[in-house]
Structures are given as structure tokens and as C-alpha cells.
Structure 1
């Protein structure tokens, strides 16, 4: 069998390596139009920020490596121009010599990846404008910083790349403004969590402009859609990517609803003996089963392995993804998995939400708080999605939640998890446990919670609401929820008779625990509609 792979980054090399492990007699050839192969794209911002000194650490494998270890021929600087499925051949161009030739295949894998979205902006082709997508683009950015010594920069986009570039440019002493065309930052977070993160960044004196787009780029400035002019010696366009599907479209390979190549769970396209994998393909959600486009390195490697296995007689099938993602931003970590609140509502779920603020480990081991937003389905009581903003230990928790969602865990099962505990690593009841307890109490134990937005809606509706701040008076005097009254928890039993039993009562404290205790007192004394404010005053204030 002769296998040809188009593309030699994560998916293509993973597919070829798996095919070789299954079949030592196959002829395997990879054509890559770039000069770098099998590199860690996610590490590129840290090379720019000099956390990684040698870019060679991100490109540990070259053509010689694949030939020696796998007996795979990798040709860099070779572009596949078109595919002829009837003759089972590809037309290839040697970019260095302009020689064009044809090559035969028995099986073909398309792993053409994705390219940055390039908006039609005046000055987008200037030498001080950069798109971070491959190793050479990272080298170009690093060289520009070293040689031109920029003082001001603008980053367009608040996704993973945008924020990672923000941190690494600022570490070089560059004054950075980050702009976002939407009315919230960070696409993978809901509006309330995005606002919480934004407020944390504002405290760090990060310049963030929302509802903004670039209309013109000059050598020393950037003009925005409202005619604001920003100083800018360099511009990083982190405006997302689009799948490279041109060669597939031309040959009649089906394109999915997300505008990426449509494949089945074996990575087969609609044309026999042609497979596709990586950032050029459409995958599907584990939860909904619906098509999604999620260009992540982890997914690329996984789909590449599946393609390589099935081409050589294997039977691995793709099982979907949860769009799990995580990134570092200064001393913070931001992560998400599963459906967002917005996505869950759009899918028709009747959802229960909670915001849980807990430290990753005890204070005597310098534990720091994380905010966990969890979304559950009221009907099945299954976890649908989780978002976390914190410092240490976020990676551990998001992976636990991703596993739980994958296997359809219900909220009451979270408390029973036998998670590893020792003070240097966690609290006795882990934040994961607490999240399950809060949701289970809300769904099954008549301890409903209410979000800040839901509270605002009730107040606007005109329904009578009594908001009770159960904290000590000093905390209340410093800041409190609008229209709330202060009845400290210790005084509640003596003063609660002044409240209307038929009105909606909302209790809160700083983070939720004492608010829940106050809620219990009200419920045990016959009050009918008693809610605890999700995330307490801390999240209410942080997400305003």
C-alpha cells in the first residue's frame, strides 16, 4: 500500500506514525508546503515571550527523524496542487524548483490544517502586522521585537492566542491594548464569567476595548471603527482561523455545515480511500452529537491517529469532543469544557446554574480561590458544562469535570468521587465536591440558587423581593447588593419575623456558604420562596 499524507504538522504526522506502527510494509509519504513540521503551535507565544529560549524545543522532529525512526519520507517545501481520485494520483509542486510532478496513492489523508482569518483592513499587509500561525511567523514576531524595539502594540482578538500574546508582549515591556469586536471577552466563557475575568484584568491595568474593530493600520498607529486612534508600532491579528479546504472542495469532497471537511467517525470523506483529519475537518459534540469546528492541537493529534489506524485495518472511531480548553494569563488560569450557558439554552435544555468560589488548597498552604461555573440539565441532572477562572489547580479540576461529562455523570455523583486529598494539593472537600453539593441541593433538596442576572430580572418584574445580606455589618457597609438589608447570620432568628413570608427572599454572604445557612433558617421556619445568591457578593460584584 502507498499512503500519501498532505500536511506534516500535528494531524498528518500523527496519522503517518500510527499507520507505520500498524503496517511496516506500507510506503508512506508526507508532502508539506511549509519548512517546519510536527511542531508545537501552542508553545509559540512562549517563544515570543522568551519563556522558551530555543525555538528548536518546539520543533524537535525533522524529516530525518521520521525517516530514521518510522521509515516515512517527509518532503518539506512541496505543495500538493490537486487530487485526481479517479486515477488515484496527486499533482505536486516543488516550491524551491517549481518542478511539478504526479504521484500515485492507494490511500490519501488530507491534513491541510487551517489558516488565519485575514480581514479586509487598510494596511493589513504592512510589515508591522503579524498573524501567529506557524514557526516562521513566531520567528518573524520575535525578530521584529528584538530589532525594532516596539513601545506600543495592538492585539485584535481575546481568544487563546490573543491573551497569550498579551502576556508575552507585556513581559517584553510593550504597552499593549487588546481589542475585541464582541461585547464580551473570551469566546469560550459566558458573559458573567467573561466579565469577572475582565474586571480581574482591569485591576492589573490591562487596556481592553470591546465592541471595537480595526479600520486602518499605519506604521505607528491603528484607527478603530469609532475613529479612535491608538499608538501602535506593531499589530497582532488573533482573529481566528479558517479550515484549509480548497483542495478538498475542488475534488468534490463534501464540506460540512461548519465549512470544514465533513468526515465520519473513522475520518473517511465521501470519496473512497480519501481521509481527512486535524484542523481542516469538522468534528461533533459529545453532548449534542451536532457538528462543531474545534481546531485544537489535542483534537488534531487524536483525529490523526484515528485516520492512520483505520487506513491500515484498524477500527478506532471518534467519539466527539467537549471543546475542552485551557490557557494561562499572567498568574491566572482560565478553562472550560462542555456547553456554555448560552449554548445549553440554544439547545433547549432546562438548566440549573451554580457559581462556586473555593480555594484549590487550604490557606495554610497558600491556597487561592477559583470560581467554578457549572451548568446542569434539570431533567436528567447531568453536568453539561463547566467554566473555571482561578490560579493553581484549575487544570486538575477541569479534567475531572471533562471526564464526568464524557461519561454522563449526574450532579449527585460528584460528592461521592474519591478524589486524592492532602493539604498541599486540595481541601478535604474538593471544589469539585462542593459544586456537586450545590447543584444537588438546588435540584433535589429544596435549596434553590439564583444568579445575579435572574435576581435582576425578578426585581424588574415588580415581584416583591427581600434581599438579605447575612454578612457582618462591616462587610455590608463596605459594599452590598442593591436594595438589600443587612441581617447578620447570628441575628437572623431574632429578626426574621420582620420579613414577609409570602415574598421572594434572596439570601447572600460573601461567597455562598453563610448565605446557604441563612437560607436553611428561612426554609426551616416556613418561608416558601427562598433563594441563595449564586457565588455570593464576591461574584455579584466581580461580574457587574
Structure 2
């Protein structure tokens, strides 16, 4: 007997789940909701739009709703946000973000894959700088358009994780003066301190103003102030300090959230921490 399966969230998690479900059944009705305008895009390639390696923002988009419909018979609905879950009635309430229209859909099975949102701490004076974060194609296009359309020369990236380092690489490739600020003694915390020194040297060799073991305490007019007292000219600030899971919808539905933290310590490559939020509805 066919089932009606709803998926909240697209991109890597939701879109992969939808495609896998279709392989398991040709009869099930599959509907996927994505509150952004793109249901499937290359997360890892987002920073490479800043250097022009990925020339157009649209080149980052992998699949359109039309392709999902024609190739997989999956109903992918973009710019639509699931706002509530009624577990007793087995329905969800959806808001069309472009028209504010609200409607509901029933389900037999519901999958939550809302992803995560960038962490933007309430640093004093953050409204005094041109601050950006990177989560999707819209974000990277907005950042790139602002940089290209302004006289920005000095760009400060806060956070030395994978995204922060890739943003630095591509901004430097594009010809900007780039500062990378990391509060910890090293960038790329999953790696040993000794190994990361190779990366530190490479950044310095590429004329990146690398600052570690120092954190942002406030912003002034186009200036980033660090705990050490350093004042960094910042025409643009890119916040890349991490993400937090989108759990509000699950919590509002009284779902039990299971946080799993996996730690592996070795001498060569360590501290791999993964946090998973699993929500199972039956």
C-alpha cells in the first residue's frame, strides 16, 4: 500500500532522503518542503563563487523542482516553510513565503531534515559593520554582490573552520586584503596542532593576516576590535564561527531530541566531533 511521505528540508539531507525513498518505492507520494529558493545545491562549493571559480551563483544549484518532478516524481516545493506539526492529526501547516498563504498537508510518514543555521553572537556594535554569514546560495550571492558592488578592500573572516578557511582562500584569490581571526590557538581544530602549522604557514605565505588565540570583543564603524586590543579595518565581516541545529520545529512538536557526540582521540588527527539531532516519528 502506498504511503504519503513529507520531508521538511531539502539540500543534502532532505533531497538525498527523498531520492532514496523513491528508489525503494515507485508508488509512494513524496513531498519535500524547502523554505529557501533552492532545493538542492553544492554546499561545499559556496565559497568558490567569491573568487570566480564558480562563475555564476546559479551554477551552484544542482537540481530544480522541475527535475525532481520529471526524474523522480518527487514534489519539491521551494519558498515554503513548515511552521507547525500536529502529531495527533498527522498533519503539518505550511506557509508560502512569497504570498503568505497558509495551508496544511497530511502525512503517513514525516522526515525532519531542517539543517542548521549560522551562529551569529550578539557582539556589541555588530550593527556598525557589514556582517554576513554563509548558509546557502542566497547568502553567498548576497555577499559576493555586496563586495563586488562596493569599494570594499579589507575583509575580516571570523572563524577558522572549514568554511572560514575556504572563504579566506577565495577572497584572497579575488585580490582582497583578508584577515582571519580564530579564538583558539589554531585553525582547523579537527587536526593536531603540529599538523596545522603547515596550514598556518601557507596562509601567512599568501599574505593573509592570520590571528589566532584572540577573539572579537566588539565592533566599531568598519573596525573589528579584538581582546588583545588590536583594531582591524573591516569593510566587510564574514561570520564563520559555526552552526547550531534547527530544532525549534521539533521541540514545538514535543519530539525527543537525541544528541550524539562522537569523540576520537589519536596522536595524528584528532578531535572529530559530530553532533547529530535525530527525530523519529512513527
TM-score normalized by the length of structure 1: 0.47
In structure 2, which of residues 235, 238, 243 is the aligned counterpart of residue 236 of structure 1? 238
- Which residue matches 1:472? none
- Which residue matches 2:99? 97
Q: Deviations over 1:64-97 (max 9, x none)?
A: 1111111111111111111111111111111122
Q: Which has the larger radius of gyration?
A: 1
Aligned 1:362-373 pairs, distance under 5 A: 373=268
- The answer to which structure, 1 or 2, has the higher relative contact order (CA under 8 A, 6+ apart) is 2
- On the 8 A contact 2:33/2:77 being kept in 1, the answer is yes
Aligned 1:299-314 pairs, distance under 5 A: none
| SS in structure 1 at match of 2:45 | helix
Q: Is the counterpart of residue 160 in structure 1 residue 162 in structure 2?
A: yes
- Which residue matches 1:146? 148
In structure 2, which of residues 28, 40, 46 is the aligned counterpart of residue 38 of structure 1? 40
User: 2 CA distance for matches of 1:386 and 1:233?
Assistant: 34
- Which residue matches 1:108? 110
User: 2 CA distance for matches of 1:386 and 1:86?
Assistant: 41
- Which residue matches 1:28? 30
User: 1 CA distance for matches of 2:128 and 2:142?
Assistant: 13
Q: Deviations over 1:334-377 (max 9, x none)?
A: xxxx93xxx34xxxxxxxx5xxxxxxxxxxxxxxxxxxx47xxx
- On the 8 A contact 2:172/2:208 being kept in 1, the answer is no
- Report deviation, 1:240: 0.5
User: 2 CA distance for matches of 1:122 and 1:15?
Assistant: 41
User: 2 CA distance for matches of 1:113 and 1:105?
Assistant: 21
In structure 2, which of residues 16, 40, 50 is the aligned counterpart of residue 14 of structure 1? 16
Aligned 1:278-317 pairs, distance under 5 A: 282=260, 291-292=261-262
User: 2 CA distance for matches of 1:201 and 1:138?
Assistant: 22
Aligned 1:128-527 pairs, distance under 5 A: 128-257=130-259, 282=260, 291-292=261-262, 339=264, 343-344=265-266, 353=267, 373=268
- On the 8 A contact 1:128/1:219 being kept in 2, the answer is no
User: 2 CA distance for matches of 1:203 and 1:236?
Assistant: 22
- On the 8 A contact 2:129/2:223 being kept in 1, the answer is no
- On the 8 A contact 1:47/1:55 being kept in 2, the answer is yes
User: 1 CA distance for matches of 2:173 and 2:165?
Assistant: 13
After the TM superposition, list the runs of 4 or more consecutive aligned residues in structure 1 that deviate by more than 4 angstroms. none
- On the 8 A contact 2:158/2:240 being kept in 1, the answer is yes
CA distance 1:80–1:386, change in 2 (3 Å) = closer
| SS in structure 2 at match of 1:187 | coil
- Report deviation, 1:219: 4.2
- Which residue matches 1:390? none
CA distance 1:205–1:65, change in 2 (3 Å) = same
- Report deviation, 1:55: 2.2
User: 1 CA distance for matches of 2:89 and 2:127?
Assistant: 40
Query: Which structure has the highest helix share of the two?
Result: 1
User: 1 CA distance for matches of 2:71 and 2:36?
Assistant: 21
- Which residue matches 1:85? 87
User: 1 CA distance for matches of 2:200 and 2:52?
Assistant: 26
User: 1 CA distance for matches of 2:224 and 2:252?
Assistant: 38
In structure 2, which of residues 69, 72, 79 is the aligned counterpart of residue 70 of structure 1? 72
User: 2 CA distance for matches of 1:6 and 1:91?
Assistant: 11
User: 1 CA distance for matches of 2:206 and 2:173?
Assistant: 13
User: 2 CA distance for matches of 1:202 and 1:95?
Assistant: 44
- Report deviation, 1:12: 0.5
CA distance 1:127–1:2, change in 2 (3 Å) = farther
User: 1 CA distance for matches of 2:44 and 2:137?
Assistant: 10
- Report deviation, 1:216: 2.4
Structure 2 residue runs of 5 or longer lacking an equivalent are 273-282
- Report deviation, 1:56: 2.2
